[in-house]
Amino acid sequence: MKFQKRTIGLIIYFILLLLPIYWMLNMSLRTNADILSAFSFYPADPTLDNYIKIFTDESWYSGYLNSFYYVSMNVVIALVTALPAAYAFSRYKFLGDKHLFFWLLTNRMAPPAVFLLPFFQLYSTFGLIDTHFAVALSHCLFNVPLAVWVLEGFMSGIPREIDEMAYIDGYSFPRFFLTIFTPLIRTGIGVTAFFCFMFSWVELLLARTLTTTEAKPIAAIMTRTVSASGLDWGLLAAAGILTIVPGALVIYFVRNHLAKGFALGRV
Amino acid sequence: MNKWEDNKAWFLVIPVFLVVAVSAIIPLMTVVNYSIQDIFGPGQRVFVGMEWYKEALTDERLHDALSRQLLFSTLVLLIEIPLGILIALMMPKKGWGASLSLVLVALPLLIPWNVIGTIWIIFMRPDIGLLGAAVNGLGIPFDHTASPFAAWVTVMLMEVWHWTPLVVLLAYAGLQAIPEAYFQAARIDGASVWSTFRYIQLPKMRGVLTIAVLLRFMDSFLIYAEPFVLTGGGPGNSTTFLSIYLVKLAVGQFDLGPAAAFSIIYFLIVLLFCWLFYQALLKVGTGDKS
């Protein structure tokens, strides 16, 4: 009896949760004229025109490519720099380690709006504006600390005896790290990569400000469409649905690490 | 775990240090630099000292934005924390139901922030949106682009929809960590659902809930993309929160000095919460191990 009441409550919550997303899906399968002329709970005459337009119009699909490009760059930079640092934090005590860790953390929590202006000035000086690298680098602001933190958690779960044995066996540090340690924490690396990907993917403010045409992310292209092209709701909804897909696809693999990642990562 | 003491570990940290230095220290120094100068153009700048800070601290619109922000963050906490706990309690503890619930709950967290705004624009439109049309159909005029109240309701709904899942995930993780023996003991003692919650589950969730409260407070303090897409800070200034105002000042009006001073003040406020968060986290961390 009690179990059933719970389940019903949960089902109601999930319906409320999915309703806005469903509504966007509904819109994305209809033409703009259809949306504006008739109110309908489901696409009476479903069409894939909006999706076809996005996949064939370069100004649209290039947005997705740009996003994927800088997000991947960001994930690689974050992982490569964070792996050794996380190892240091999990294994060694060194001068200023606690302060350094806290300082990293503050960057994770800094308002991106604060960094907007100086980023723009700095990257203009180096001619980096409107490159994928600029966005990837700016997203390191929050993703590198996140990567260090999540990886440190996973590394601390590996007993230190493994390191000691390897050193006794004559392994050098780089060889030990690459051939023994990295495979041991591959779950951690996967989870970290997922969260870095996610946080870079959902960010709009920095990505939009640091790009103009060449590296414009899909998120920015969408906002431009809202204001300019007389609001094509169907197209906008289809573009939105497509941005949800990558996250929805991989979420299943990290479900057991979700709470931890989001707690540290504050989406 | 006992750690090795070795300052050579710094070499391992250097890459991270460099990357974060480029993306954080240098920009922050630039902001400080701007905040004490009046900049007319390239090469034309005058040292003005604390002038911009005074201006920022006495700016009416900034005060309004700050009080709006505090009201918003407080409401967020009051709604999301109890709701999140309730939903976490309803979720199944194991089996396929648990996996499915986790995946569904996390879905809103993975949507780009501006798309969240877009979803809610579409959902709340009086003409084509499901909820907007439904509310108007009941005879209540509701348009988030015209009435400040409706704009607030919409932003709150969106915020609750978007972020309650985070509280749910954290609370759920906290509940999962409670050993089954506690519940068995409660059952033997004939404890009611409420007293099980009050005396076992709630105290055991204290750690994760502290994290949830702080995270939600800080995040709602930094909110930008969702209300920006949804309302653009309007109607009027009714949903102009701190970040929106800051970006307006910096990019819209290009008032570098005041915007920089404002940034520093904003950053210091966040830093304070950050420190509280870290302290809470350390306490939670040691609590788990003992």
Q: Do both A171 and A238 map to the same domain?
A: yes
Is A132 within a domain?
A: yes
Is A163 within a domain?
A: yes
Structural domains in chain A (count): 2
Q: Do both A43 and A114 map to the same domain?
A: no
> Would you say residue B118 has pLDDT above 50?
yes
Q: Do both A183 and A91 map to the same domain?
A: yes
More confident: A35 or B262: B262
Distance from CA of A47 to the nearest CA of B (A): 18
Q: In which band, very low, low, confident or very high, does the pLDDT at B80 lie, cut at 50, 70 and 90?
A: very high
Return the percentage of chain B with pLDDT > 70, whole number.
Answer: 92
Interface predicted TM-score of the whole assembly (ipTM), two decimals: 0.78
- The first and second tokens of residue A236, run together, are 């906008």
SS (H, E, C) A7-69: HHHHHHHHHHHHHHHHHHHHHHCCCHHHHHHCCCCCCCCCCCHHHHHHHHCHHHHHHHHHHHH
Q: What is the DSSP string of A121-152?
A: HHHHHTT-TTSHHHHHHHHHHHHHHHHHHHHH
Average per-residue pLDDT in chain B? Answer: 81
**For residues B164 and B109, what is the distance between their CA atoms, to the nearest angstrom?**
9
More confident: B265 or B56: B265
Q: Do both A110 and A241 map to the same domain?
A: yes
Reading chain A (267 residues) residue by residue, the pLDDT tens digits are 456 778 888 888 899 899 888 888 888 888 877 777 777 777 777 888 888 888 888 878 888 888 889 999 999 999 999 999 999 988 888 888 888 887 887 777 777 777 887 888 788 888 888 888 888 988 888 889 888 888 888 888 888 888 888 889 888 888 998 888 988 888 888 888 888 888 888 888 888 888 877 777 877 777 665 544 456 788 888 888 888 888 888 787 777 776 666 666 554
Lowest average pLDDT, out of A98-112, A250-264, B178-192, B236-250, goes to A250-264
* Rg, chain B, Cα only: 23
> Would you say residue B2 has pLDDT above 70?
no
Q: B44: which strand partners?
A: B41
> Would you say residue B289 has pLDDT above 50?
no
Residues from chain B contacting residue A143 (CB–CB below 8 Å) = none
Q: Do both A209 and A130 map to the same domain?
A: yes
Length of chain B, in residues: 290
Give the pLDDT confidence of A40-73 residue by residue, as tens digits: 777 777 888 888 888 888 878 888 888 889 999 9
pLDDT at B160: 92
Q: State the maximum Cα–Cα separation within chain B, in Å, rounded to a whole number.
A: 78
Say yes or no: A21 contacts chain B, CB-CB below 8 A.
yes
Q: In which band, very low, low, confident or very high, does the pLDDT at B290 lie, cut at 50, 70 and 90?
A: very low
Residues from chain B contacting residue A28 (CB–CB below 8 Å) = none
Say yes or no: A93 contacts chain B, CB-CB below 8 A.
yes
Q: Do both A81 and A39 map to the same domain?
A: no
pLDDT at B112: 84
Q: Do both A30 and A66 map to the same domain?
A: no
Is A53 within a domain?
A: no
**For residues B221 and B243, what is the distance between their CA atoms, to the nearest angstrom?**
8
Q: Do both A118 and A179 map to the same domain?
A: yes
Q: Do both A65 and A191 map to the same domain?
A: yes
Say yes or no: A184 contacts chain B, CB-CB below 8 A.
no
Give the dihedral of Cα atoms B57, B58, B62, B63; nearest 10 deg: 100
Distance from CA of B161 to the nearest CA of A (A): 7
User: Using CA of residue A84, residue A85, residue A86, residue A88, what is the dihedral sign?
Assistant: positive
pLDDT at B285: 55
pLDDT at A80: 92
pLDDT at A128: 83
pLDDT at B85: 92
Q: In which band, very low, low, confident or very high, does the pLDDT at B65 lie, cut at 50, 70 and 90?
A: confident
Nearest residue, CB atoms, B122 vs list A23, A105, A113: A23
Say yes or no: B177 contacts chain A, CB-CB below 8 A.
no
Q: Find all residues with CB under 8 Å of B129, minimum gap 6, and list them.
A: A23, B121, B122, B123
Residue A21's domain comprises 1-47
Q: In which band, very low, low, confident or very high, does the pLDDT at B13 lie, cut at 50, 70 and 90?
A: confident
Lowest average pLDDT, out of A140-144, B40-44, B109-113, B264-268, goes to B40-44
Q: Which one, of B155, B24, B219, B141, lies nearest residue A114 by Cα?
A: B24
Residues from chain A contacting residue B246 (CB–CB below 8 Å) = 111, 113-114
Is A211 within a domain?
A: yes
- CB contact residues (below 8 A), chain B span 199-258, against chain A: 208, 211, 215, 218-219, 221-222, 224-225, 229, 242-243, 246-247, 250-251, 256
| Best residue of A3, A5, A13 to probe chain B, by most B CBs closer than 10 Å | A13
More confident: B208 or B284: B208
Q: Do both A150 and A18 map to the same domain?
A: no
Q: Do both A91 and A170 map to the same domain?
A: yes
- What CATH number does domain B60-289 carry, 2.40.70.10, 1.10.3470.10, 1.10.3720.10, 3.40.50.720? 1.10.3720.10
pLDDT at A260: 65
Q: Do both A106 and A160 map to the same domain?
A: yes
